[in-house]
Structure formats: C-alpha cells, structure tokens
Amino acid sequence: MNRNDLRRTLRDVAVIGAVLFLCVVAAFVRTRNLDADRAALAHAEAAARATADDARPVTATAAAAIVGAPVASKRHAFLHRRVAHGADGARPLGGPTAPASDKLLYDAANRFDRDGAFVALLPDGTGRAVAAIATPRGPAIAITAAAEPRAPLPWLAVLGLIGLSLVIAGAGATVGGRARALGVGLGLATWALPAAWWGGVGLAVAATVIAVGTGWAHHRGATDRVVAGVRANKVALSFLAPAGVAMIVLVVVPFAVGLVLGFYDHHHGKWTFVGLANFKRILTGDGHALSDPLNFWFILGVTLAWTFVNVMLHVAFGTLFAMILRQPWLKAKGMWRVLLIVPWAVPNYITALIWKGMFAGEYGAVNSILSGLGLDRVSWFSSWATAFSANVATNTWLGFPFMMVVALGALESIPRELEEAAEVDGASAWQRWKEITLPHLKPALGPAIVLGSIWTFNMFNVIALVSGGKPGGSTDILVTDAYRWAFERGEQYGMAAALGTIIFLLLLGWTVIGRGLTRGEEEARP
C-alpha cells in the first residue's frame, strides 16, 4: 500500500472515529446522569419513609418532616398555616426565623395536597430530590442534598479503544481492495461495544452501520469525492457554515426532539414510551364526537376552512390593490404603497390585540359603528360564525399586503406595449385580463399561495389573541390545539409533539403538491 492510500484510510478512520467517540461520550454522560437521578430519587423516598416511620432520617438529608394539613389561624380567619413535626417537635412552618428549607417543605406539601404522593427532582439544577409519603398526620416530606459527583470517563479504556481501531483499520488498509473496506469498517465497529454498554442496543447498531458504511464508502472512493468537493468549495462553505449550524441547532434538532417525543407519554415529569398510542388517540378523535372541538377531524376541518378563506381573501384583495396601484390615473402612488404595506410591517401580535379591542362587545370600534348605523351590537365571540369572522378579518388585514407586493411585481413585468396592442385590436377589459394579465400573474402567485397557505395554517397569534378559541375551543386550529395539549390539558407534551408531527406531514404534502402545480405553471409560461 502506498503512502497516499494509508493517509486516506487514517483520515477516514479519524473523522468517523471522532463522530462515534462523541456519540459514545454522550451516551456515557446520559447513562451516568440517569443513574445519579435514580439514586437521588431513591434516596429522597427512603428518607421520606424513614420520617413517616418516626425513624432517624437517612444521612445527607437537607430537610425531613411530617407536615400537617393547612389550619385556619385563630386570630385571622382568612389566613392558613401548616405545622411541621420534626426532630425538634411541632412548630409553625415558615416565619422570619424559619430555615430556608421551610419554603421547599411548604411547596412540597401544597403539591402533595394537589397531586398525591410523589417523588421528583427539584428543577434547580442541583441534583436535589423531594419525596412525600402519606401518613395519618399529613405528608412525610424529605428533601435530599445534592447528588454525589458523577464518575469520570475511563480515559485509559477509551484510549485503548482508539488504538485498537487504528490497528485494525491499518491492518486492513495494508491488504488493499475490499479487505481495506472490511478493515476500516471493523476498526470503527469496535465503538459498538461501549455504545451497547452505555447507550443500549440501538446506539450499538447505529455505530456499526456508520462504521460499515464508512468502510464501503472508503472502498468506493465516495469519501475522496466528498473531500474534493469540500476543498473546491471551501470559500462558499465557510460563508454557509454559520447559517448551517444555526439551522441545525434551531430547526433540525428541535424537530428531531419533537418527533421522538411524539412516541412518549408525559405525566408529572416522567416520560413513558407508548409507541403510536398518541397518534392513534389523535386520529381516532380520542373518543369525542365529530362535532366536538376536542376531535382532531373537527379541528382539521376548521383549520382547512380557515386557511382556504384567508388565502382566497389575501389573493383577491392583494391582486385588486395591485391593479389599482398600477393604473395611470392614480395619484401619489408612493404614498398609497406605503400605507398599504403598513399592516404587513406592524408585528402581527400587536395587530391581533388591536383588532381584538375593536371587536370588544361594549366599547369596541366595530360595535360602535354598528350602533351608529342603528344596528344591534354583536357579541362577536359567543358564536362560531362571528368569532371565525373576527379572526378572518384580522388575518386578512395582516395577509393581503404580501400578496399585493407579489402581484404588483408580476404586473410590472407586463410590457405596456402588449396591453396597448391588445386594446387597439379591440380586446375588451375582460379579454385583456384573461389573455394577458392572468397568465403573467399565475407563475408569481402560485408559490406565494403555497407560502401564504403555510403561514395561515400555522397562524397561532391571531387565533390565540383575538378569539382565544372561543366559543368552547370551536375556533381553534391545529397549532393552537397543540399548544393546549402541552400547557392546558395536564402537560401532555407527547400528544402535542405527535400533533406537531401530523401538522408537519400535512404541510409537507401540501408543499409537494403546490410545488408540482407551480412547476407546471412555470413550464407552461411562454
């Protein structure tokens, strides 16, 4: 084997080995953290049980006491207090001279009254845990101190593993041919052993697939082509790298996490793998009637109606205003363009709040106008039709400027000579619109409609701030329903994540269909 082949082999081993090394280290850290969390939870529960049995609490306990139920104050009937029964006897919980742990005991007692017996980690990043056990006198609560330090990574074993990978890969590289691919793959596959130990079978299989795939890619010359492409475009890639990293961190990673969470159920901070159960609950309506706002298909119907109506109005008003702005008789075109773009420039949540105030029942501007015209005031958010109309009116105001700008750009591309020739030839206004204006508008409006549909489909702010889903959640759309699953229905993050995945698939399908339609329009354009 020549020197260049050895250099390429070691390069591939080093790059992919580094990736696998990071995966193994991440699995190691995760495993050790989970072990420490389990130990902290078990320690807190043992301390709580010892306190409930009036035994000496286990060591390393920050606070342990039996906290009684809230009792009314004798002097102030509107005040309630708790009594802690600790090693020093009974005493009021809290007060100017109380230890800092009393606040944790008080909060834990309130949570116990609400949720029942529990054991959980404290969300303060210290590794402490709190546990509560039911007793006749009240909850026995124990709060453990910080967890023990994590064990260090066995660096000697890792270094030995790196050496073994290089030896196997180098031995295979000296043979050449397919044996080289086998050697590189086996060398990197040694990382499957710690991956299985710390990360489980799934990570071990992934490490093996990456290793074998790297060896085969090395044999086929794919890695050399990738390296050559990077070198040839290193300047362009250096400019794209920050955006690529930001895209991965802010889009790809959250999406992947959300996709995985859709297969889990969340309850009181605990995650349980449930497979496709969340998706089944959503798609089957979760036992609710089709006319129930809690049924997925009802919300999907509202979402589709919401999207269709809004996009049609956006296109209609945007095109109308664009054609008016293009007329030669219109004066002060610059001023009108600025005024018509203002709704787009103002943040949509501010616009939503303004329109919500305008639709207020007693003092809203809309009802004031109706009253001035001798008409009855309308309770806009008491029925589905009026609440839906209020949402549509708000979003139409927000969305038509975008379509207007797109349509105006397309209209400006139409040669004046073409329109004048058609007029001279005796073509009517409708014929000029049908044969000249519309063919020039369609290629520009097609992608804008697809993009506007996606924006409207996910228009959270208008629904949440204007109608708030009223009445009874009937004006909610899919994205607001996902929010309610996460934050208003018992923190069912798995259901919210599953619904988010379904929303993504729906929009992906619409994007593919829309792209096919717009591509056909572009190809048909003369």
Q: Shortest CA distance to 178 belongs to which of 208, 213, 211, 218?
A: 218
- What local confidence, expressed as pLDDT, does residue 158 receive? 63
Let me know how many helices (H) and strands (E) the chain has, helices first. 21, 10
- What local confidence, expressed as pLDDT, does residue 5 receive? 66
Q: Shortest CA distance to 143 belongs to which of 67, 32, 31?
A: 67
The full set of domain ranges for the chain reads: 3-31+155-232, 61-144, 294-472+507-524
pLDDT at 270 over 80: no
* 462 confidence band (pLDDT: 50, 70, 90): very high
* 9 confidence band (pLDDT: 50, 70, 90): low
What the block records as the tokens of 491 is 């923190």
Task: For 464-517, write each residue's pLDDT tens digit.
Answer: 999 999 998 999 999 999 999 988 887 889 999 999 999 999 999 998 888 777
Q: Would you mind telling me the total number of residues written for the chain in this entry?
A: 526
Task: For 215-235, write each residue's pLDDT tens digit.
Answer: 667 666 776 777 777 778 888
Determine the Cα–Cα distance for residues 391 and 366; give it in Å rounded to an integer: 14
Ramachandran area for residue 177 (φ above 0: left; ψ -120 to 50: alpha; else beta) = left
Q: Is the pTM of this model over 0.85?
A: no
- What local confidence, expressed as pLDDT, does residue 75 receive? 66
- What local confidence, expressed as pLDDT, does residue 272 receive? 83
Determine the Cα–Cα distance for residues 173 and 10; give it in Å rounded to an integer: 9
Average pLDDT score over residue span 195-202: 68
What the block records as the tokens of 370 is 């109706």
Torsion over CA of 10, 11, 13 and 14, rounded to 10 degrees?
A: 110
Cβ contact 130:44 at 8 Å: yes
Highest mean pLDDT among 17-26, 140-149, 470-479: 470-479
In 222-288, which ranges are E strands? 264-267, 270-273
Q: Shortest CA distance to 86 belongs to which of 142, 134, 145?
A: 142
Sequence-distant (≥ 6) Cβ neighbours of residue 493 within 8 angstroms: 261, 266, 485, 486
- What local confidence, expressed as pLDDT, does residue 262 receive? 92
What the block records as the tokens of 206 is 């992934």
State the fold for domain 294-472+507-524: MetI-like fold (1.10.3720)
pLDDT at 396 over 60: yes
Task: For 401-446, write each residue's pLDDT tens digit.
Answer: 999 999 888 888 877 777 778 777 777 777 777 778 788 788 888 8
